[in-house]
Homo-oligomer: A and B are copies of this chain.
Amino acid sequence: MNSSDKKLIPYSKLLDDFKLLLRRNGLKFTVQREMILDVLYNSSEHLTPEELYELVKEQNPNLKTGIATVYRTLSLLEGERIVSSLSFGAQGKKYELGAKEHHDHMICTSCASIIEFVDEIIERRQQEIAKQFGFDMRDHSMQIYGICKNCKEKEK
């Protein structure tokens, strides 16, 4: 599993942050919410709500879980910037924990696979452009859309 090489914070810290956030907003800490956070933390992939739902059920077969709760929790987490979402090709979104190192995305519009990358030249250039416009850059996102190697080969 190569999921651990992207972790910036330990799970316990993430969990504490989440609990604090819930308390501050008069929301409740439930098993379902913990499971969803857990699965997100332990996955190196970008997950669709459906995939996340399956993983949660798999990891805890005793707990009844509805997909509606997954959607509701993702919505909550995204609003709090704990996860971020990407839209890809056909339909739907994929989610990932925001607590990872910054990276950009290359998205295959054919198979919806996602390649993460960071490029220093681009990162630096963005800063320069922002500066040029007197713009105070706080964040950015970049997606490259196209056809990945695998799909290109399949097409032939």
Q: What is A's interface to B at a CB cutoff of 8 Å?
A: 84-89, 91-93, 106, 108-109, 115, 117, 119, 121-122, 125-126, 129-130, 133-149, 152
Contact = CB atoms under 8 A, between A and B. Distances in A.
B133 A149 contact: yes
A100 to B, nearest CB: 15
Given A108-B135, A121-B125, A142-B142, 11 more contacts: A87-B87, A87-B88, A106-B133, A109-B138, A115-B135, A125-B125, A134-B152, A135-B149, A137-B145, A139-B145, A142-B143
A144 B134 contact: no
Contacts of A89: 85, 87
A136 B146 contact: yes
Contacts of A109: 85, 138
A79 to B, nearest CB: 11
Contact of A122 (B87, B122, B135, B143): B122
Given A121-B121, A122-B122, A145 B115 contact: no
B142 A146 contact: no
Contacts of A122: 122, 125-126, 129
